[in-house]
Chain A
Amino acid sequence: MPKSLTPRLAALRDEIHGYAKEFGLDFFDTRFEMVSYDEMNMVAAYGGFPTRYPHWRWGMEYEQLAKGYEYGLSKIYELVINNDPCYAYLMESNPEVDQKLVMAHVYGHCDFFKNNFSFRHTNRRMIDEMANHATRVRRWVDKIGVEKVEDFIDRTLSLENLIDQHAPHIRRNPDPKKAEDELKANERVEGFKVGREYMRGYINPSEFLDSQRKKVEDEKQRAKQFPERPQRDVLLFLLEEAPLEPWEADILAILRDEAHYFAPQGQTKIMNEGWASYWHSTIMTRRALKDDEIIDYADHHSGTMGTRPGAINPYKLGIELWRDIEERWNKGRFGKEWDECDDLRARRSWDKKLGAGREKIFEVRKHYNDITFIDTFLTPEFAMEQKLFVYGFNDKRNSWEILDREFKKVKNKLLQGLTNFGQPIIEVVDGNFENRSELLLAHRHDGQDLKGDYARETLRNLQSLWRRPVNILTRYDNKGAMLRFDGQTHSERKVEL
């Protein structure tokens, strides 16, 4: 089981901790633990936590990690949990220089967890919460039976991505009581109070009264709908409205909680990994490296930064963007004057000696997520320097190929892949569809069709929770389509958009 650090490593930790503080990183208390490689694989399979509820998919993850490790294909260097205190794991068998690199990297992550706005609403006692979840699920397993519980989890996992990643930040549903009062108050449209009767026509012209009446009508109409507005958090809707057994509701709530906990990490992958890499690189090369460690460090650092044509390496893209921002703000390469400068030579030697880079990146790490980060700071020069391109599948040649290197397309594709984690956006539109308590979802189509066989299987799982027929409105080949599963059979019909 996890061990605490050896005195030697504890001394190294204190050293690295000192550098991290010196550079101004601000993090929760960070605890390192030593684990063997299979413990590391286990914890990684559990998504970074020492305990999770029993489920085969952790076993599946574990098998992949374990085999990857045994065949020498992959190795997990670093694992850190967003928690207060932060927990991080070091692999026993790693050489000292790796441990230093990992520690520096981890302090970067911890700083990010603590300061980035996306994590503000995450549970900082998630280790305890996960253990509680595990206990609750185990208790249900004892009561209901493992088959039933696992089967329910499987079906729910099918819907796990149907959450509202922004939910923690917003109150979507207004306070129902207040809304009701307002509605009542507005029910009769009388217009503004009029002191002198002859002024009535001027203060409350009939057009105004009509528009007010219409507003009230709309409100009423909406109140009849259910949900009142399309709801992204499908899991929440099911939790509140589906006829679930108490144990089912409990498990659904657990899975939803956990999905929301992990969401910010998905929203900030590039920033977060880039930030941690920026700091391990800075701390190692400026402070912590000994002469005889340089080769090993360079080897492992470049291993982490490796790219291949068909994918974006968040570590690489992240660290380069952070460095780019730092350089631009150091040299004053921003603002009106910079944007309007067309002289290539002037741009290349542009340096206003502002020295504001460090300050800027600390500010950016607070207020951005991957989408706004890329949207704001990805420049054409950067995209060219980093050799970014858009690729796609060529059906005729039956292979993947480079489609375009144009900046706008690269940026759009990158943003598209990040929006809602690159997953389709799906909302609950009607919980009483056709007045037959059927469920209607809508896919907000953005040019990409849903994978049909997956969609049908997902509907089947959704139906098993909703119990009544379920429908989803989407588009195939630019034509409206309604997929439906009624508990027995799948059907599909065309719909006018």
Chain B
Amino acid sequence: MTLKIHQDHSRFKQIVRGKIKANLRKYVQKGEMIGKKGKDAISIPIPFIDIPRFKYGHKEQGGVGQGDGEVGQQLGPGAVEPGEGKQAGQGEGDHALEVDVTLDELAQILGEELQLPNIERRQNERIITQKIRYTGVNTTGPESLRHFKRTFKQALRRQIAAGTYDPARPVIIPTREDRRYRSYKLQDLPETNAVIIYMMDVSGSMGDEQKEIVRIESFWLDTWLRHQYKGLEARYIIHDAVAREVDRDTFFHTRESGGTMISSAYKLCRDIILADYPKSAWNIYPFHFSDGDNWSADDTRQCIDMLRSDVLPNVNQFAYGQVESPYGSGQFIKDLREAVGDTPNVALSEIADKDAIYASIKDFLGKGR
């Protein structure tokens, strides 16, 4: 059944998406959602378009409340509505209500907003773990798996049938034939493992703002991939002229200086893949962020060779995001585009500023790989 209001509703959604796409982008910008990641629950406001009016600032206004409490006592968080005073007659809340959503729901919303395709898993059937499941009962088995209750019942049944059961003195003695044992089956469980390998250029030209962009973007990539894969691992590599693996915190907060040799990162990435993540068992997603100012054409050539021979054949998708820095945007993305741009599992994106994150997420995740 369609309701009349669905027209207005879809129009509203179109506005939120098309005209501004504002809400999502605005939150991405402020990075609000990362801070609250704590318990897996995040509150995102439902999109709301606030038409400007002549009105009072809410904070100045204050109001009358009801309840216990001493003068000077704080009202709990959320006690006062974030929205401004209610509108005449239109009683039903003129305010944005905040709804707690889980990361999973957030990913769904992201997927819906960006119209992201679900990822086609690469090695679904091949990745298998075996799991023991106790599914039945048998007359033979090891004593350690004896099913006490069933054994007892069996013995009781036999004794009653044989007429040896005395309710006044209810002693049950199981014989060898009464014994019952749990039996198990080995079950094949397909398991999908995925790993994200984040690489970031931390050379002198990558400033705080660039890192902020990477941080926000990786949050969304993380959220989406976690939604798609149950067991998601993440590895972090930073590099300037040399690369090293670090933990998450270091990844986002290190500032090195000096030159940029991207090949160092790719080499480390390749080594990590070869050592820990066999292609047959893992879905692999390397993401590399840099300002694109590589040291030399020679090094770039090395990178491309390495991608072609060792990285691309092993991964689901290789993604490179070039963040524009105060010193401009480098050559690297162009080189990549020329060399491997046509390869289906390569995603390239240029991120000019925070506003471009939105489009860039789509570049990275829009392929459904």
Contacts and interface: CB of A to CB of B under 8 A. Distances in A.
Interface string A294-332: 000000000000011111110011000000000000000
B69 A402 contact: yes
A63 B8 CA distance: 10
B59 A393 contact: yes
A60 to B, nearest CB: 5
A165 B89 CA distance: 12
A449 interface: yes
B66 A307 contact: yes
A84 interface: no
B48 interface: yes
A157 B51 contact: yes
Interface in B78-103: 79-81, 84-93, 96-97, 99
B9 interface: yes
B168 interface: no
B5 A59 contact: yes
Nearest to B94: A61
B4 A423 contact: no
A264 B81 CA distance: 24
Interface string A160-192: 111001000000000000000000000000000
Contact of A67 (B7, B57, B69, B99): B99
A57 B59 CA distance: 26
B64 A389 contact: yes
Q: How large is the interface on A (under 10, 10 to 19, 20 to 34, 35 or more residues)?
A: 35 or more
Nearest to A150: B11
B52 A461 contact: yes
Contact of A59 (B13, B90, B91, B97): B13
Contact of B55 (A165, A389, A454): A454
A392 interface: yes
Interface in A404-423: 404-405, 410, 413-414, 417, 421-423
Contact of B66 (A68, A265, A317, A403): A317
Nearest to B68: A387
B5 to A, nearest CB: 4
B364 to A, nearest CB: 28
A59 B8 contact: yes
Given A51-B4, A68-B97, A400-B75, A449 B56 contact: yes
Interface stretch (A21-29, A37-45, A242-250): A37-45
A107 interface: no
A73 B66 contact: no
Contact of B67 (A45, A67, A387): A387
A13 interface: no
B62 A450 contact: no
A355 interface: no
Nearest to A58: B8
B53 A161 contact: yes
A7 B67 CA distance: 44
B208 to A, nearest CB: 25
A449 B4 contact: no
Nearest to A36: B1
A62 B66 contact: no
B71 A402 contact: yes
Given A422-B85, A454-B53, A454-B54, A388 B9 contact: no
B136 interface: no
B8 A54 contact: yes
Given A59-B10, A417-B64, A67 B54 contact: no
B9 A63 contact: yes
A59 B11 contact: yes
A488 interface: no
B67 A390 contact: no
Interface in B8-57: 8-13, 15, 46-49, 51-57
B8 A62 contact: yes
B53 A158 contact: yes
B112 interface: no
Interface in A362-420: 386-394, 397, 399-405, 410, 413-414, 417
Contacts of B99: 67-68, 71, 73
A391 B65 contact: yes
Nearest to A454: B52
B63 interface: yes
B276 interface: no
A265 B92 CA distance: 12
Contacts of B5: 42, 45-46, 58-59, 62
Given A46-B5, A65-B92, A402 B65 contact: yes
Interface in B94-144: 96-97, 99
A124 interface: no
B170 interface: no
A47 B94 CA distance: 12
A85 interface: no
Contacts of B54: 161-162, 423-424, 426, 443, 450, 454-455, 458, 472
27 contacts: A47-B90, A54-B7, A56-B8, A57-B12, A60-B48, A65-B92, A76-B92, A161-B53, A161-B87, A262-B89, A262-B90, A265-B88, A265-B89, A311-B80, A312-B66, A316-B66, A388-B65, A388-B66, A391-B62, A414-B64, A421-B85, A421-B86, A423-B88, A451-B55, A451-B56, A451-B84, A455-B54
Given A42-B4, A390-B62, A417-B63, 6 more contacts: A58-B8, A62-B8, A266-B89, A388-B65, A391-B62, A450-B54
